[in-house]
Amino acid sequence: MSPNRIVAVLTPLVFAPLAGAVATWIADNVPGTTISASSLEEVFIGGALIGLAPAAQWLHGWQKYEAREAEKESTIELANSTAATPAAQGGEMDADFEDFEDDFADFDGFEDEFEDLDELDDELFADEELVERGG
């Protein structure tokens, strides 16, 4: 049984009457207070209502939590159902990959130019190492 059902069933049957009984006992047994017998009934009802308020708030929060979880699950299901696999695309993925390889073929000649930059970096870092060593 889920916690929300336990709270929904036990609150009016157990928790609210127990809260009312505790409130009545406290009102009747606190030294220095005089409460008539007719007023004890009002105290019992007030205590029972005080016991119902947190349960109602908890059930409200639980319903919001369940709504968020259901929305999250439906979003995941929607994302999984709309996600296409390469087999479902009918081979379009392979053609796209070949186009991608062709795009990188244009960059083959840049390796030589980058070697010149590496040599320049080595020269600059050599000067920094001399400064760090105190030379």
Give the pLDDT confidence score for residue 64 in this predicted structure: 93
Quote the number of domains for the chain.
2
* Mean pLDDT, rounded, of the chain: 76
Same domain, 79 and 91: no
Give the pLDDT confidence score for residue 3 in this predicted structure: 79
Q: What is the average pLDDT across 30-59? A: 85
Give the pLDDT confidence score for residue 88 in this predicted structure: 52
Same domain, 110 and 61: no
Same domain, 60 and 42: yes
Same domain, 53 and 97: no
Collapse the DSSP code of 33 into the 3-class scheme (helix H, G, I; strand E, B; otherwise coil) and give the result.
Answer: coil
Domain that holds residue 128: 87-135
C-beta separation of 48 from 11 below 8 A: no
Closest CA to 58 of 135, 4, 113: 4
Interval 63-72: pLDDT, tens: 999 999 999 9
Same domain, 68 and 92: no
Give the pLDDT confidence score for residue 96 in this predicted structure: 58
C-beta separation of 43 from 23 below 8 A: yes
Confidence of residue 94 (pLDDT cuts 50, 70, 90): low
Interval 46-79: pLDDT, tens: 888 888 888 889 889 989 999 999 999 999 888 8
* Strand (E) or helix (H) holding 84: none
Give the pLDDT confidence score for residue 70 in this predicted structure: 93
pLDDT at 102 over 70: no
Give the pLDDT confidence score for residue 68 in this predicted structure: 94
